[in-house]
Every structure is written in C-alpha cells, then in structure tokens.
Amino acid sequence: MSRELIRLRDVCMAFDDELVLDHLNLYFNDKEFLTLLGPSGCGKTTTLRIIGGFATPTSGDVLFDGVRINDVPPYKRQINTVFQKYALFPHLNVFENIAFGLRMQKRPDPKDPTGKKMVKIPEDEIRERVMEMLEVVSLKGFEHRKPDALSGGQQQRVAIARALVNKPKVLLLDEPLAALDLKLRKDMQIELKRIQQQVGITFIYVTHDQEEALTMSDTIVVMDKGSIQQIGTPEDIYNEPKNAFVADFIGESNIIDGIMLQDKLVQMYGKTFPCLDGGFAPNEPVDVVIRPEDIDIVPVEQGQLIGTVTTVTFKGMQYDIIVDFKGFKWLIQTTDHCPEGSRIGIKIDPDGIHIMKKSQYSGMFGDYSSFSEEYDELDDASLSLDEEESGDEA
C-alpha cells in the first residue's frame, strides 16, 4: 500500500467539557479516497477541521509527513477544503473565485539567483491554470458568472476547482453533496471519484450518507460518539461489521441475540445454524447479523425458522417485507410476493450469517418493529445536517 501522509495521534477535542473526539488514532495514506462516516455529532466534521487547521485539538498530535502541525495555521498547510455549502465568494465571479488561492501565493523568483526574493504568480500562468481547472470540472465558458447565477451542482464544481487549482496534497470535503438533489448527487459521486483519480491526491471525505461512502471510498472510517468504530474497505465494512452500530449504520441489518456454541455453529431462537465465523469462547453470547438480501423464503415445512409476514412494501426491484419471529421483527428483501398475514419459512446460508462480539451497542439496533419510522428518519437527512451545524457553533 502507499505511503502514510497524515496521522492523528491520540487526538482529543472538548467543547465546554463535552468530549467530541475521544483519543482518536488514525492515519491517512497518500492518494487514497478515505471517508469519515457517521451520524451527526459523531465528531467527523471536527476531525476534518482539525486536519484543515480550523480547530486545534485539546490534546494529541496532528502529523503531516511526520511533522507536527498542530499550530500551523490553515494558510500554511498543503491542504485545501471544499466546504459544506461551498462558501464561494459571492462578490467574485467564477474565474476570480478559482484564481483566489493562486493570487495569494508567493514563490521564489526564478530570475533571482539567491532564491530569496518572492514573487507573485504571473497573470498568464494564473489564467492558464484556472482554465485548465475549469476543464477538469467541466465548467468551461462559465468563468464570468457570479456564484449566485449558478446551479447547486455548478457551484459545487467551482468549489472543487477553487481548492484543486492550488495543487494541494490533500483535499478535504465536508459533506459536499448534501445540498444537491438525489440524481445530481449520484452523478457527482462518480464525478468526484473520477477527479480524484485524475489529479491523484488524497481525498478525505466526510458524510453521513452510507451509500455515498460505499460508492466512492478506498477506505471507510465509521465513527460514533467521537470514537472510531471500524476502519476498512467498503466490502469489509459491509460484510464484516465489527459491532451492532456499524452493522445498522451501513445498510440494513437484522441483529439477533445468539449464543456461539462452538466455532462455526451459532444458536438463535433455540435452534442451531451453521456459519463461517469462529474464535469465540464456547457458549459466548454474541450479536448475529443477517442482511435482508441473504435470507431465502421457503415453504413453512422446509424453514429453519417460521414467522408471520406483518408488512409488505413494494420497492420496484424487490419487496421489503417485515416478518415477525417470536416478537422480533426482521426485514427481508425478496422478489417473491408473500401476502400480509401469511406464514413463511426462511433459510439462511452459512455465508449469510455474520457473528459479532457483544458491545455497548448490543440490543440498540436491528429490530424492525419501528420500520416506518426509520424510513422517515432517512428522508430527513438534510435535517440532521442542520443539527450538526448548530452543534458546531455551540
């Protein structure tokens, strides 16, 4: 794997005695697309602000290329940021917005032999680089527009160009797609990934949208309550969640209490199921994760478990059905239609079962008794965003 670029060592952050980051240890590799993922108030934005230099950690170190940069102001860091609501300068046009960083830069005069004299970047080079950047973000011909004459997606691209034109080593993105509508968001996800591969620098991306994280990232860091819950590739995080929080936050999960009888054998509802996990103590209580798409519906007589369908929702590609197994409600995704009130059997293959150790999150997630409410919450993504903002201010 490539070389380490940024490291956070034992970083703590407290606002008014409230611990926002709790002994965070994390490193970022060069040229990787890393996503900090978590619900609002989990500390992901604070982590980003610490890396950008907009916040100083209460304790711990921030290292850039092995050098401690805790007290280096933002304007001296080789890091640029794309802010949540773009923060374009309203009084400048697109060209001047993108040129802003270049106009601030000074570098050694190539004509000066001592190399001490600092000069500004010449105007023709600025023009060239801005135009090049406009091409990268597909905004040629927009250079004379003011930001308020652009659509949300276009403003987004200007913000990215404005940051990238300075050739930073790291680009920080703070929920950059949150204000866009769904269709545009999907397009921009692919666009962002393309830009990252084209310019070949590290992207550190903050989001509360698990789908966004899975689509774009090389590495995902799942955070909650100021602590890292899991670090891994999107596949790892989805297939092998470490605890009930991660399992619930990434995708849909049924999380059931189980007992690990022995390696590769777990007991749920008093029945034994073969699985692929091991390394637990005999008869250790565990959390069992079963993804809704890994459950096969079979005739009652062939079922490992038998339950009653309580709700059916048509989703286009599949039906989401809620099935009651002895009072615990499961979400199952199936292409077969099962009418409400019918009794069905289910079968789970060993590779559809994932075993997790008990954690502080056990028993908090994975029951679909309040299914519809959960969907409402998902629709209110923008709402939780605002909450985080007001939280920052306090």
Which range touches another protein (CB under 8 A), out of 2-10, 48-56, 309-317, 359-367? Answer: 48-56
Which range touches another protein (CB under 8 A), out of 72-80, 220-228, 249-257, 274-282? Answer: 72-80
**Residues 6+ away with beta carbon under 8 Å from 318:** 293, 333, 334, 335
Among 100, 142, 319, 371, binds another protein (CB under 8 A): 100
Residue type, 117: K
* Dihedral angle computed from the Cα positions of residues 275, 278, 282 and 286, in that order, rounded to the nearest 10 degrees: -70
The count of chain residues that interact with another protein, using the rule CB under 8 A, is: 27
Which range touches another protein (CB under 8 A), out of 51-59, 222-230, 242-250, 290-298? Answer: 51-59
- Residues 123-182 binding another protein (CB under 8 A) are 148, 162-163, 166
Yes or no: say if 314 and 239 are a contact pair by the CB < 8 Å rule: no
Q: Is 122 in the site for another protein (CB under 8 A)?
A: no
- Residues 339-378 binding another protein (CB under 8 A) are none
Residue 205's nearest CA partner among 184, 219, 195 is 219
* Nearer residue to another protein within complex by CB, 164 or 356: 164
What does the DSSP 8-state code read for residue 86? B
Among 30, 31, 54, 199, binds another protein (CB under 8 A): 54
* Nearer residue to another protein within complex by CB, 148 or 373: 148
Cα angle 319, 323, 213; round to 5? 55
- Which neighbouring-strand residues pair with 21? 13
How far is residue 363 CA from its own chain's centroid? 24
Which range touches another protein (CB under 8 A), out of 77-85, 123-131, 279-287, 360-368? Answer: 77-85
CA distances from 87 to 91, 161, 174, 376 (A): 12, 13, 11, 30
* Nearer residue to another protein within complex by CB, 159 or 353: 159
Q: Is 71 in the site for another protein (CB under 8 A)?
A: no
CA distances from 143 to 17, 121, 332 (A): 46, 19, 50
Which positions lie near another protein, rule CB under 8 A? 52-54, 73-75, 79-81, 83-85, 87-91, 100-101, 104-105, 148, 162-163, 166, 393-394
